[in-house]
Each structure stands twice: as structure tokens, then as C-alpha cells.
Amino acid sequence: MTQKLILASNNAGKLKEFNELLATVGFDVRAQGEYGVPEAEEPFFTFVENALAKARHASRLTGLPALADDSGVCVNALGGAPGVFSARYAGEPKSDARNSAKLIADLAAHDDMSAYYYCVLVFVRHADDPQPVIADGRWNGIIVPEARGEGGFGYDPHFYIPELGKCTAELAPEQKNRLSHRGQALRALVEKLK
Ligand SMILES: O=P(O)(O)OP(=O)(O)OP(=O)(O)OC[C@H]1O[C@@H](n2cnc3c(O)ncnc32)[C@H](O)[C@@H]1O
Ligand SMILES: [Mg+2]
């Protein structure tokens, strides 16, 4: 029997990627929205604390194991911003387009466009699991002002990978999953669960 797993996210882009990434792993993956779980608070200043809060919240409300992702884009010239604040960088309501526009505007006076995507995944077997399983991944790139590509989500039209000559929104889903911060973190997490 496959084990049910709640994905503690309301981000459609992430959910799509997790469904692709987890397709081969023996879990019956359900989005927290299917269970009426509302968005968790993300009050912390570290990715890992926010991911743990999201995982525990979803697990507590469903009674099922949960996997949460906290991620963001960290720009070196901005001291790592927007970082944990990536989803709401341009304020509420969340908007990928406004977040990207703010990032480009903030970088206008800078020369160093280097950045990285960072992702922490936290898996809890139950809400009070004292041994959450944690894995992370990082993907280096360059922020470019001109949007390129239709794929992915978030900052992907502006996140350029020099080795590929493409922005991450121009990659096929399998290629993004193979290389991304999220793909790296998920493969590391699955190894730990074996
Ligand atoms: O908390 P949940 O419900 O999972 O959804 P969220 O969008 O609020 O997720 P986060 O709090 O982890 O914020 C992550 C943000 O970082 C950005 N981001 C993370 N991974 C990305 C990726 O693969 N491609 C583009 N942008 C990404 C994007 O703006 C996300 O909204
Ligand atoms: Mg969030």
C-alpha cells in the first residue's frame, strides 16, 4: 500500500514540480489544499524554521506525514535578499511579476548579478516528530533584466544559467527538475528516507 503524504504548500508551481519529482517514489502525494489546510504562518528568518513550521502545520491538521519546501532566490549584491522573503518581496498579495520587477529595479545600480536559488525540504512523520528529515539544495545563476521563457514559476524568467545559455523558465520541466535546488534537495531527502 502506498503511504499518503501531504505536500505542505499552496504554490501551484512547486506542487507541479513535486508531482513530477515524486512520481517515481512510493508515496501517494496530496496537496494540503485538498484537505482544506490554510496557509501556515512563516514568521522566521531562516528557511529551515519556516519549512518545519509549514510541515508541522499540515501534519497537525491532516494527521498525515507532511513534506514542506521553503525556498527563495538569494542575490549576492543584495546581501542574500530577497531570500526567505522571496514570495512576498513586493508585498501582498503575492505576485511573481511584481516580485521580479522589484528585484530588477533593486539591482539596477549594481554590477554583480550573481545569485542562487536555495531550497530546504522538511519531512515529518507526524506533527510532533522529534526527528524531522531535512535536506537542502542550491542552484547558482545570474539575474537578467529581460524576461525569457514561459516555464517554471516565480523568478524563473529572470534566473539565467550561463552553462545552459538559458533562463530557468526556458527549460523543459525534466531539465529544471534534474538541476534545480528543489530537485537536488528532494533526491537528498529520498536518500535519507531509504
Ligand atoms: O509557502 P508555500 O505555500 O510553499 O508557497 P510560497 O510560494 O509562499 O513558497 P515560499 O514561502 O517557500 O517562497 C518561495 C518563493 O521563492 C521563489 N522560488 C522558489 N523556488 C523557485 C523556483 O524553482 N523558481 C522560481 N522561483 C522560485 C518564488 O518566488 C517562491 O514564491
Ligand atoms: Mg510561503
Q: From atom 8 of ligand 1, which residue's Cα is the shortest distance away?
A: 87
Task: Say what the ipTM of the complex is.
Answer: 0.99
Please tell me the residue having the least CA distance from ligand 1 atom 17.
Answer: 72
- Do the annotations mark residue 111 as ligand-binding? no
Domain at 3-193, CATH from 3.90.950.10, 3.40.50.300, 3.90.1150.10, 3.30.360.10: 3.90.950.10
Q: Where are the domains of the chain?
A: 3-193
Report the residue among 6, 7, 10, 14 best suited for mutation to probe ligand 1: largest number of ligand atoms under 8 A from its CB.
14
Does 61 have pLDDT greater than 80? yes
Determine whether the annotation assigns residue 137 to a binding site. Answer: no
Q: pLDDT digit string (tens) for 86-135? A: 999 999 999 999 999 999 999 999 999 999 999 999 999 999 999 999 99
Cell of 128: 510532533
Structure confidence at residue 1 (pLDDT):
60
Calculate the CA 181 to chain-centre distance.
Answer: 8
The catalytic site residues sit at: 70
For the segment 7-23, what is each residue's pLDDT rounded down to a tens digit?
999 999 999 999 999 88
Residue in 4, 40, 1, 16 with CA at minimum distance from that of residue 176:
16
The predicted model scores a pTM of 0.97
pLDDT of residue 6: 97
Classify each residue of 81-94 as buried b or exposed e, where b means 16 or more C-beta atoms within 10 Å of its C-beta: bbbbebbebbeeee
